[in-house]
A and B are shown apart, each in its own frame.
Chain A
């Protein structure tokens, strides 16, 4: 029989997370700090609206781009929070999570062989989506000494005549790094000069702890070359509802909508109605969750400093990314050993790109009590490692 699988798919590396998940899932009593989703439940008034939409029998398709009411609310929300304006009718498409938006963005824009600059460590889907869309990923290895921000020099070094898209994943998973206005202005200048489009994955935008999040789309000259991707998963604790969106110039969004229409039809209707409620009345929920995350962030930073573990201070998302280089182990060995000996699961930094080697991702989407318990086990573990030396 012929090989039924396309080469570009069989060549695709399985996610490093998957491998680690298989190990963890055999230890049901482990404490996990490995989760990439909020510990909060979706606010009840939002769930209630979803339930109501089902009771009302709103169980049909919506338009391909999504409910007009939802797109209108998204447009209002973005202008209220991030000072960018998008026309609900032409410049917004509702997707199945931010993940779909990344995928259809790449597919709509890439010609075979065109290059996509992807800063790493970062979320696991940018490289495979680029490859599936026929593009060529060009990795920029971000550095801890720059607090894992993308610098203009690093970007300039990666640009070639074939560069089409820059992926800008900030606030960042797994590092927790953010980009502030002046950082973005430097990046914007290069993008304009070299005619590069930006796929800005801002799914963690509400979880910024150092001033308000700035979107690159709000920098003059950038809106026309930026696909802004956001969604409800992180801000409103709605991961399982699978709802995100992309905003950008009409000529790109309309082509993305065409792909979306053929492979997805429309995002889940129940989720869309719930999301309208989230945007209309959810600002306070978001603020409360952000404050809770920030308390945990400060607490963890304090604990890691106390233990003398090298760690830059992250100001975004819900991750801390300490260095474990002092122990001379790979991230994967460290995480496996920590799991076996102390039953704490954290994720190897190498799962998010080669330059994540030597780091681990610690999620603080857990209650303070949970964190305390896990931290004391981690401290025991690293004390044992240090004593062995």
Chain B
């Protein structure tokens, strides 16, 4: 395979597994018309290169008995000399409570997404851990009330196949 073909194969693998991390690799190879060994090799290469960062499960926790709250926190920070936002981002993402951290353009700098067991737990984290960091200028915390769609998957109501069973 030449470079372009490898690139193309990688793209089609990524597109296929992006929304189905559990797909059987042999089946995937058949669907893409690629040799199964090539698929396995490409995947392990992409894992090593950090293109594939992990395989997770999409869970709608609201349907379980588990109590969780998710908060989006807009954080304004002072960038640090020589390091920009990286070192303050690192100080934040190292907390295990923190789920995601993004550098954002616009009215604030970092979007921090975190999960806690209760409002109290989240607010205590924001007050004690986040706001107290020296570089942090302000935090605005938003609690998620309902998840309609996550990572491309609709969690809200779904519709049945309403097509007529046999049509020409």
Contacts and interface: CB of A to CB of B under 8 A. Distances in A.
Interface string A27-61: 00010101111010000000000000000000000
A298 B30 contact: yes
A17 B31 contact: no
B32 A17 contact: no
Contacts of A173: 168
A34 B30 contact: no
Contacts of B27: 299
A24 interface: yes
A387 B31 CA distance: 30
Contacts of B15: 291
Contacts of B161: 39
A197 B164 CA distance: 35
Main secondary structure of the interface of A (DSSP, over half): mixed
B40 to A, nearest CB: 18
A296 interface: yes
B48 interface: no
B165 A298 contact: no
Contact of A34 (B16, B31, B166): B166
Interface in B39-79: none
A345 interface: yes
B120 interface: no
B165 A37 contact: no
A93 interface: no
Contacts of A299: 27, 30-31
Contacts of A325: none
Contact of B165 (A25, A39, A296, A368): A25
Interface of B: 12, 15-16, 27, 30-33, 161, 163-168
Interface of A: 15, 17, 20-21, 24-25, 30, 32, 34-37, 39, 123-125, 173, 291, 295-296, 298-299, 302, 345, 347, 351, 368
A124 B161 CA distance: 24
Contact of A15 (B12, B33, B168): B168
Nearest to A23: B166
A298 B167 contact: no
B16 A295 contact: yes
A229 to B, nearest CB: 16
23 contacts: A15-B168, A17-B166, A17-B168, A21-B164, A21-B165, A21-B167, A24-B166, A25-B165, A32-B165, A34-B166, A35-B165, A36-B168, A37-B167, A123-B168, A173-B168, A291-B12, A296-B31, A298-B32, A299-B27, A302-B30, A345-B165, A347-B166, A368-B31
B31 A35 contact: no
Contacts of B30: 298-299, 302
Nearest to A295: B31
Nearest to B20: A368
B112 to A, nearest CB: 30
A15 B166 CA distance: 12
Given A291-B15, A299-B27, A34 B165 contact: yes
A32 B166 CA distance: 7
A30 B31 contact: no
Given A21-B164, A37-B167, A291-B12, 5 more contacts: A35-B166, A291-B15, A298-B33, A347-B166, A368-B31
B168 A351 contact: yes
A351 B27 CA distance: 32
B163 A35 contact: yes
A25 B163 CA distance: 12
Contact of B31 (A32, A124, A298): A298
The interface centre, meaning the residue of B27, B31, B166, B168 with most chain A CB atoms within 10 A of its CB, is: B166
B62 to A, nearest CB: 24
Contacts of B12: 291
A37 B166 contact: no
Nearest to B31: A295
A32 B16 CA distance: 25
A382 to B, nearest CB: 20
Nearest to B33: A298
B18 to A, nearest CB: 12
Contacts of B164: 21, 35
Q: Which 4 A-B pairs have the closest CB atoms?
A: A34-B166, A295-B31, A32-B165, A21-B166
A15 B167 CA distance: 10
A37 B163 contact: yes
Contact of A24 (B163, B165, B168): B165
Nearest to A124: B168
Contacts of B33: 298
A235 B76 CA distance: 47
Contacts of A368: 31
A20 B31 contact: no
A201 to B, nearest CB: 13
A37 B165 CA distance: 10
A295 B13 CA distance: 11
A32 B162 CA distance: 12
Given A39-B161, A295-B16, A345 B31 contact: no
A251 B15 CA distance: 47
